[in-house]
Amino acid sequence: MYDFKGKTALVTGAARGIGRAIALELAKGGASIALNDVNAEAGAEAVEAMKQAGAPQAKYYKFDVSVASACDEAIEAITKDFGGLQILVNNAGVSRDALLVRFKDEDWKLTLDINLTGAFNLMRAAGRIMMKQRAGAVVNIASVVGEMGNAGQAAYSASKGGLIALTKTVAKELASRNVRVNAVAPGFIDTPMTQALPEAARTKLSEAIPLARLGTPQDIANCVAWLVSDKASYVTGEVVRINGGIYM
């Protein structure tokens, strides 16, 4: 377990799945948690879970990550409420899947707005605070398909590939102020989305993975906790693959 006492973390998309696991892991280390999620009811429930896990403070913030002004206001409110912001995890994301020639304009825009522009908005707003503090750690949740592509996921792949490139650029810009920026690229993770697949499809998917199993949200949370901890103080601009070996 890592020591995050005295630190505040904002985790987007934190009410369930990977985001929730990440927020809980940080809470266990004593971090105060600011949660964002589109589901207000689930977000409120997650606040109590964070406190039970060890977070001295936890609060839910409802805002649209794709709206720059909303992100600016949220970062300002979080900084005021908690006295600072040391950790940002950009996990919020959506996927709209279809073959290229059938892809709808609105689905392309929605996916890029949330997955890529949302992370840009929050890094820009939080970056100002972290640069003044001369301390901070950002982790962007990318995806294996952002590196290897995947048929039927043009927008999702593009958004995650763009997020990887954005991570590397921002890491170079903020390094002189002791702000580290990294990305994690999960493979196929055991979440409600994959749980809804037919058993035969899940079996076939597992067989394609060298470690022969889907990942878990905790697998991702463990890596994120390390990346934002002092143990990774010399790591920035990296993309950590957590995919069971499906892409090397």
The domain that contains 223 carries what CATH number? 3.40.50.720
Residue 195 confidence (pLDDT): 84
Mean pLDDT of 188-194: 86
Number of domains in the chain: 1
- Position 108 in a domain: yes
Residue 1 confidence (pLDDT): 78
For residue 245, give the nearest of 200, 216, 208 by alpha carbon.
Answer: 208
- Position 209 in a domain: no
Residue 192 confidence (pLDDT): 78
Contact 33, 55 (CB under 8 A): yes
Cα Rg for the chain, rounded, in angstroms? 17
- Position 241 in a domain: no
- Position 141 in a domain: yes
Residues with catalytic function: 156
Residue-averaged pLDDT of the chain: 97
Residue 123 confidence (pLDDT): 99
Q: Is the pLDDT of residue 197 over 90?
A: no
- Position 248 in a domain: no
What is the domain extent for residue 155?
A: 8-189+217-236
Mean pLDDT of 200-218: 93
Q: Is the pLDDT of residue 10 over 90?
A: yes
- Position 222 in a domain: yes
- Position 202 in a domain: no
- Position 21 in a domain: yes
Residue 202 confidence (pLDDT): 87
Q: Is the pLDDT of residue 193 over 80?
A: no
